[in-house]
Homo-oligomer: A and B are copies of this chain.
Amino acid sequence: MDEPSLRLILEDLLMHAITPDEAVTLLRRLPFADIGHTKVDHHRELRQGMAEAVYGPGKSPEEVAAIVRELLDHSSGPVVLTRANDEQIKAARAVDADVEQRGTILVWRPAPRRDHNVVVLTAGTADGPVADECEATLYAHGIEATSLRDVGVAGLHRLLAQLEHVESADVIVVVAGMEGALASVVTGLTAVPVVAVPTSTGYGTAFEGVTALLAMLSSCASGMSVVGIDNGFGAAAAAVRYLSSSA
């Protein structure tokens, strides 16, 4: 974390180019200083184990392009753009066309393939885009997830038929809307870490994902943890942390 700058000050001190008092002043905040003109967070990969993802909504195509360029120029790891609209995607591809697009996610410089077994389950077909976001983010970090779609509890046998596969995962991500019961059932049947992603799938009392969220948080099956509604990116980030921690 900026050791060269730190070392510079100390060497100045050793060479009496600055006084101890001056050094005190310089050092008081240094560990967090950003040297230069931009606040793009080049050190996040070191600090958090992940590249900063650019979140599309609320940014102009120009802003998106500028941030992507900055990240590609001044860092060396993977760069991810999520929830981009068509114009943002167009602007971002123009920065560097060597990019993998999955749904509304763009991935530049994916990490080398790592040998982890992540299973991403969805309860229904409509949960697909959130699972896509999760899998694309995992891909950016070197992980090709196994995708099992449409295995919700309305037809429980579909899940049970795949249970052996699911049980052998390193991490399971369950993506489910409506009442989100799939997450409880999977957690009850396995000993694997489960990250649950409530989705805004459904209507009426599904309340845009709130019902699934509350159900997952209140599960009678212990050992599941939950990320925000539709936050496939966050689930992937949690999975990456676990896999990195255990490696």
Contact = CB atoms under 8 A, between A and B. Distances in A.
A155 B178 CA distance: 22
A129 B213 CA distance: 25
Interface stretch (A85-93, A95-103, A105-113, A197-205): A197-205
A149 to B, nearest CB: 8
Task: State the main secondary structure of chain A at its contact with B.
Answer: helix
A160 interface: yes
Contacts of A210: 214
A234 B222 CA distance: 5
A37 interface: no
Nearest to A235: B225
A188 interface: yes
A150 interface: yes
Interface string A205-247: 1111111111111111111111111110111011011111111
Contact of A213 (B31, B44, B63, B205): B205
Contacts of A41: 154-155, 158
